């Protein structure tokens, strides 16, 4: 028991600098499972809130005798070049400069605002009281009854809704009179005036308020209000003045806390704290020095105020040692007065400070990042494991963005997920979360150029209705679920694929190595056993040159050995059109390369591996086309289609006996292709398919199709009809462009044609009736390549990623797991695209011809690819079992890093290929034919008749083996004769 108490006491006692352990704790990259979404609930009784600030939303700046605040003055008469930003270009704007005179007009819309709270379902609402509204002159001598009545009305409405208020006494809007008369917070006398104001609020409102915030973000108030002058009151003083103001703010906060503690806590039972804002900082390198610099950065921003309040009443040592006489000194009585003056840790984290108002020098050359989880862990370690109430958090969108605020929604999701992980995985005591903000408003130095509200406000409208954004609908659902509960569709499925399921692997860029390995030299050699011990070539003597065999290609043998190690039944590779027909026609056939492919396919068949071969892969120089064709316009030239048909006929004729699965075009790049090129490409595919169908199918009995790149396109805002329309449009342009003519109507998608016609773009060709008949139905199965899912939004948020042509913004969910190449891991996207193809074109056989991810070369355990393959194959199983998709095969990408760096199942080490851990995992899935479990019905698959590949080896190479036996016998006889005569000659000389 004593040991337990000692350990507990050790946990509860923090020492300054303990937070530095955070960087080491998170230094190693998390496993894919840990990095993804955590499906769990928040603790019972968790506080869900939303917030706003008086100057940002209230408006009514001169209504009912409200006094002027420093922000009224600052926005009406900005000092120097501190012009505030109005709405961004392209949006209607009020007369600059932007002010909070009207803002969201909350002063006249209490019922409107509280209805927004009811819609969200929050338990708490954080708002601030405007000091100048209740005390126009800043002092208690003449309180404004109308101002007091407004806040009483708001509190009464909150009580009716069952929403607890979290009230901030000072959110940056000091009465202008106090600035003029005293110099603002630079004067210590303001602490007494602030205490008088706080007492008035406690007396009038304290019976209904259980959470009080004294001052919001003192770092910004002190540093940018009095040192840099970027914010009100706009004083460009010295650093010394900034530190003095911060000192006074701490003393003012402590004075109010003691006031509440002694005079109001016994009867009102509330809690008081100060809202501290912080950034997060990461070391450029994991060195002791860099970590110390990160610790110093947090000391200079958060620790500046947190250490005096939560630890020992004094500033961080790093500040005292670096700032010398600039930093005020606490007296012993002040230390005792300030220490412990917070009942919980009120944290503000977001773009108010991060990446905006953080002084660059306070980063100490380290890297800022928006990582809330690590900040929470640091606070937990640094400040005695306090109860943390996140009182402001969120992100922003452009001022032109209206209701589909996808970027804000996904940042909100990220921050809440990080909070959940901090609670469940790191045991940080977070008691509540406040999304910022309830509605769009005036955003301080950024004016109306950005929006942070969950509800959209049209600032130019008379009514200024609150319209819920996508982020509001997301937050509402999250509160309702109290977190991220596991959903049935996210649970892994037990089951197996059909017995004849094609398990494959891909190597698009098979390296053609035509060097023969052995027994192909016709020269005769003698072995010099006495002197050089080497073979000496006998000049002028040659034997008859032996015919080469497929077994002579060492590269093929090693390739097949790797494939057999994976247990795949199929191997997908691409032919090199430019090497087979360098001139683009049959006047210069490279028979050596063609024979190499013939040998590769034949040896695969002998090894019981089915070759799946693509005729054209857009790769390398000239996108895989012969140089003459590329120079004559490539796919823009209609004659390229005829040349492709001629090339296809050559391949079918020479290789078709061994190849039963053909792909004409492998993943044509629809996003980098003109409409005329796409048209000719479709004709080329159809001509090749018709040739096979008419001239080769009967004898070769193979199948032919085209592989389309089919990444899933998901609406960024699932609640937005416009985003759904955008997603449908992109799917039609990405997949339907080539799929609809072949698998569907024989013509281009209607959506595509209508969209282009509306924009007077008439470049999309029309099919003749003859071409429709040629193209439509030119397939034997549906083949697709899939790697990821892309989110699309109709709102123009990031000009750099906005597709003006399709009027679409591409983005990603920042909570998704990503590869080193920034490919998002979204397994459910595969299932959705399979279902989309089925619903769009019918229940045809489907093959997933390529599916894979790049990995971290430093990750010896290959964790990401293991995670990726397991989850994507399981989604494919769901499509087959649950959705009835006629899925016939799955091909993992790619065989080795040599031809697809980072994507391989085998890594290249000292010119040898070594299996990564993912090989054994994929092999296990193949051997189990899926994911069988005790609850799943095991499919009985009859054993295939055993094929003795070794027997086949000897059976098909009788001539070669006889020749080898003859050589071995001759070698033994020659060796015997040499030793015999050598011995005889030695005896003679004796």
**383 touches 14 (CB < 8 A):** yes
In this predicted structure, what is the pLDDT of residue 856?
86
In this predicted structure, what is the pLDDT of residue 960?
56
In this predicted structure, what is the pLDDT of residue 956?
47
The encoded tokens of residue 359 equal 């002084």
What is the helix (H) or strand (E) element at residue 651, kind and residue range? helix 638-655
Residues in the chain: 990
| Cα three-residue angle 459-460-462, rounded to 5 degrees | 95
Distance, in Å, from the CA atom of 499 to the CA atom of 888, rounded to the nearest integer, reads: 10
* DSSP secondary structure letter of residue 77: S
Q: pLDDT averaged over consecutive 10-residue blocks of the chain (990 residues)?
A: 43 76 94 92 98 98 96 91 54 60 97 98 98 96 95 98 98 98 98 98 98 98 97 96 98 98 98 98 96 97 98 97 94 98 97 89 95 98 97 96 96 98 98 98 95 97 96 98 91 96 94 68 72 76 68 84 97 97 94 94 97 94 94 97 98 97 97 96 98 97 98 96 97 98 97 94 94 98 98 92 93 95 96 98 97 89 94 98 98 94 92 93 97 71 49 49 70 73 56
In this predicted structure, what is the pLDDT of residue 83?
57
Q: Where are the beta strands (DSSP E) in 289-407?
A: 345-349, 367-368, 388-393, 397-398
Print burial letters for 528-566: b (CB count within 10 Å at least 16), e (below 16): eeeeeeeeeeeeeeeeeeeebebbbbebbeebbebbeeb
**397 touches 408 (CB < 8 A):** yes
Distance, in Å, from the CA atom of 540 to the CA atom of 519, rounded to the nearest integer, reads: 19
The residue with tokens 């004016």 is: 447
Q: How many CB atoms lie within 10 A of CB 745?
A: 14
Identify whether 233 is preceded by a cis peptide bond (ω within 30 of 0).
yes
Region for 287 from its dihedrals, namely left if φ exceeds 0, alpha if ψ lies in -120 to 50, beta otherwise: beta
Coil, helix or strand for 707? strand
**788 touches 810 (CB < 8 A):** no
Distance, in Å, from the CA atom of 586 to the CA atom of 571, rounded to the nearest integer, reads: 27
Helices and strands counted in the chain (H then E): 36, 34
Q: How many CB atoms lie within 10 A of CB 769?
A: 8
Distance, in Å, from the CA atom of 50 to the CA atom of 433, rounded to the nearest integer, reads: 8
Cβ neighbours for 723, distance < 8 A, ≥ 6 positions apart: 404, 406, 715, 716, 717, 792, 793, 794
The encoded tokens of residue 969 equal 């016998």
Distance, in Å, from the CA atom of 895 to the CA atom of 509, rounded to the nearest integer, reads: 10
* Reduced 3-state DSSP string for 153-166: HHHHHHHHHCCEEE
CA Rg value for the chain: 37
In this predicted structure, what is the pLDDT of residue 40?
96
**785 touches 710 (CB < 8 A):** yes
In this predicted structure, what is the pLDDT of residue 528?
75
Treating both helix axes as pointing N-terminal to C-terminal, what angle do 372-382 and 406-424 enclose, rounded to 10 degrees? 40
**103 touches 71 (CB < 8 A):** no
Print burial letters for 30-64: b (CB count within 10 Å at least 16), e (below 16): eebeebbbbebebeeebbbbbbbbbbbbbbbbeee
**918 touches 865 (CB < 8 A):** yes
**68 touches 132 (CB < 8 A):** yes
The encoded tokens of residue 15 equal 């020492």
Distance, in Å, from the CA atom of 581 to the CA atom of 619, rounded to the nearest integer, reads: 16
Distance, in Å, from the CA atom of 357 to the CA atom of 222, rounded to the nearest integer, reads: 12
Using CA atoms, how far residue 361 sits from 126, 225, 301, in Å, is: 32, 17, 11
Q: How many CB atoms lie within 10 A of CB 485?
A: 10
Alpha-carbon torsion, ordered 750, 751, 752, 753, to 10 deg: 50
**852 touches 893 (CB < 8 A):** yes
The encoded tokens of residue 918 equal 């993912």
The residue with tokens 């595969």 is: 830
Coil, helix or strand for 211? strand
In this predicted structure, what is the pLDDT of residue 543?
67
Coil, helix or strand for 457? coil
Q: Is the dihedral of CA 756, 757, 762, 766 positive or negative?
A: positive
Among 167, 161, 160, 155, CA closest to 117: 161
Write down the H helix ranges in 13-94.
Answer: 21-25, 32-35, 54-57, 70-76
In this predicted structure, what is the pLDDT of residue 990?
47
What is the helix (H) or strand (E) element at residue 250, kind and residue range? helix 239-263
């Amino acid at each position: 028991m004593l040991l337990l108490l000692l350990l507990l006491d050790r946990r509860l006692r923090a020492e300054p600098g303990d937070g530095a352990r955070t960087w080491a704790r998170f230094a190693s990259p998390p496993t894919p499972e840990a990095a993804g979404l955590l499906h769990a609930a928040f603790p019972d009784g968790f506080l869900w809130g939303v917030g706003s600030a008086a100057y940002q939303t209230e408006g009514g700046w001169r209504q009912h005798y409200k006094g002027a605040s420093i922000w009224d003055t600052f926005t009406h008469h900005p000092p120097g070049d501190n012009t505030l930003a109005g709405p961004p270009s392209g949006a209607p704007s009020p007369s600059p400069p932007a002010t909070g005179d009207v803002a969201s007009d909350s002063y006249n819309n209490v019922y409107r605002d509280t209805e927004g709270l009811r819609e969200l379902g929050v338990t708490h609402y954080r708002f601030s009281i405007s000091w100048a509204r209740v005390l126009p002159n800043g002092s208690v001598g003449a309180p404004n009854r109308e101002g007091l009545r407004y806040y009483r009305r708001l509190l009464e409405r909150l009580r009716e809704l069952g929403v607890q208020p979290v009230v901030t006494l000072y959110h940056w809007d000091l009465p202008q009179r106090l600035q003029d008369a005293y110099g603002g917070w630079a004067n210590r006398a303001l602490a007494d005036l602030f205490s008088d104001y706080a007492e008035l609020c406690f007396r009038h409102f304290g019976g209904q308020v259980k959470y009080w915030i004294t001052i919001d973000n003192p770092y910004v108030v002190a540093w940018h209000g009095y040192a840099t002058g970027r914010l009100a009151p706009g004083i460009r003083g010295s650093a010394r003045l900034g530190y003095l103001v911060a000192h006074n703010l701490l003393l003012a906060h402590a004075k109010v806390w003691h006031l509440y503690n002694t005079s109001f806590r016994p009867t009102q039972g509330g809690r008081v704290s100060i809202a501290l804002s912080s950034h997060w900082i990461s070391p450029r390198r994991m060195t002791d020095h860099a970590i110390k610099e990160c610790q110093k950065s947090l000391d200079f921003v958060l620790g500046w105020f947190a250490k005096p309040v939560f630890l020992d009443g004094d500033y961080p040592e790093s500040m005292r040692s670096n700032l010398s006489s600039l930093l005020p000194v606490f007296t012993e009585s002040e230390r005792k007065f300030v220490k412990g003056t917070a009942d919980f840790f009120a944290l503000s984290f977001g773009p108010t400070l991060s990446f905006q108002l953080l002084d660059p020098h306070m980063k100490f050359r380290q890297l800022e990042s928006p990582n809330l989880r690590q900040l929470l862990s640091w606070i937990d370690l640094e400040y005695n494991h306090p109860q943390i109430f996140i009182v402001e958090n969120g992100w922003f969108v452009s001022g032109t963005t209206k209701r589909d605020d996808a970027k804000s929604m996904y940042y909100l999701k990220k921050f809440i997920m990080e909070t959940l992980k901090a609670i469940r995985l790191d045991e940080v005591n977070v008691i509540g979360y406040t999304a910022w903000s309830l509605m769009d408003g005036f955003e301080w130095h950024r004016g109306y150029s950005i929006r942070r509200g969950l509800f959209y406000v049209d600032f130019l409208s008379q009514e200024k209705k609150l319209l819920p954004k996508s982020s509001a609908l997301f937050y509402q659902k999250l509160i309702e679920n109290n977190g991220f509960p596991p959903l049935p569709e996210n649970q892994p499925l037990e089951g197996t694929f059909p017995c004849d399921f094609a398990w494959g692997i891909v190597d698009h860029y098979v390296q053609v190595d035509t060097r023969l390995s052995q027994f192909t030299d016709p020269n005769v050699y003698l072995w010099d056993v006495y002197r050089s011990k080497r073979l000496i070539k006998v000049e002028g003597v040659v034997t008859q040159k032996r015919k080469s065999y497929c077994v002579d290609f060492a590269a093929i043998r090693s390739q097949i050995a790797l494939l057999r190690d994976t247990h795949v039944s199929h191997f997908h590779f691409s032919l090199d059109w430019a090497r087979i027909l360098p001139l683009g026609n049959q006047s210069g056939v490279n028979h050596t390369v063609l024979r190499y492919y013939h040998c590769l396919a034949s040896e695969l068949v002998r090894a019981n591996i089915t070759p799946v071969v693509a005729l054209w892969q857009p790769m390398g120089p000239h996108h895989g086309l012969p140089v003459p064709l590329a120079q004559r316009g490539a796919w823009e030239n209609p004659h390229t289609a005829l040349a492709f048909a001629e090339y296809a006929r050559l391949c079918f004729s020479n290789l078709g006996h061994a190849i039963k699965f053909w792909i004409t075009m492998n993943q044509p790049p629809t996003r980098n292709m003109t409409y005329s090129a796409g048209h000719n490409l479709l004709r080329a595919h159809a001509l090749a398919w018709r040739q096979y169908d008419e001239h080769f199918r009967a004898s070769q009995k193979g199948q032919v199709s085209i592989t389309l790149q089919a990444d899933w396109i998901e609406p960024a805002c699932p609640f937005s009809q416009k985003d759904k329309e955008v997603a449908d449009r992109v799917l039609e342009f990405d997949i339907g462009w080539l799929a609809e003519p072949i698998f569907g109507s024989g013509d281009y998608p209607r959506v595509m044609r209508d969209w282009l016609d509306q924009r007077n773009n008439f470049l999309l060709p029309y099919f003749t009736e003859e071409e429709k008949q040629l193209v439509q139905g030119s397939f034997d199965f549906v083949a697709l390549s899939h790697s990821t899912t892309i989110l699309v939004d109709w709102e123009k948020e990031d000009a750099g990623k906005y597709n003006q042509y399709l009027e679409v913004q591409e983005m990603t969910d920042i909570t998704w797991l990503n590869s080193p190449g920034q490919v998002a891991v979204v397994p459910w996207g595969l299932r959705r695209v399979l279902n989309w193809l089925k619903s769009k074109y019918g229940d045809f056989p489907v093959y997933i011809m390529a599916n894979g991810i790049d990995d971290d070369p430093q990750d010896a355990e290959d964790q990401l690819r293991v995670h990726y393959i397991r989850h994507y194959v399981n989604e494919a199983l769901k499509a087959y079992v649950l959705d009835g998709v006629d899925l016939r095969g799955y091909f993992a990408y790619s065989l080795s890093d040599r031809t697809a760096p980072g994507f391989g199942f085998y890594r290249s080490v000292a010119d040898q290929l070594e299996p990564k851990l993912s090989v054994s995992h994929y092999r296990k899935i193949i051997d189990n034919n899926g994911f069988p479990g005790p609850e799943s019905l095991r499919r009985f698959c009859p054993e295939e008749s055993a094929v003795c590949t070794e027997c086949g080896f000897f059976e098909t190479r009788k001539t070669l083996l006889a020749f080898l036996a003859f050589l071995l016998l001759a070698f033994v006889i020659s060796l015997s004769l040499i030793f015999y005569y050598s011995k005889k000659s030695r005896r003679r000389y004796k």
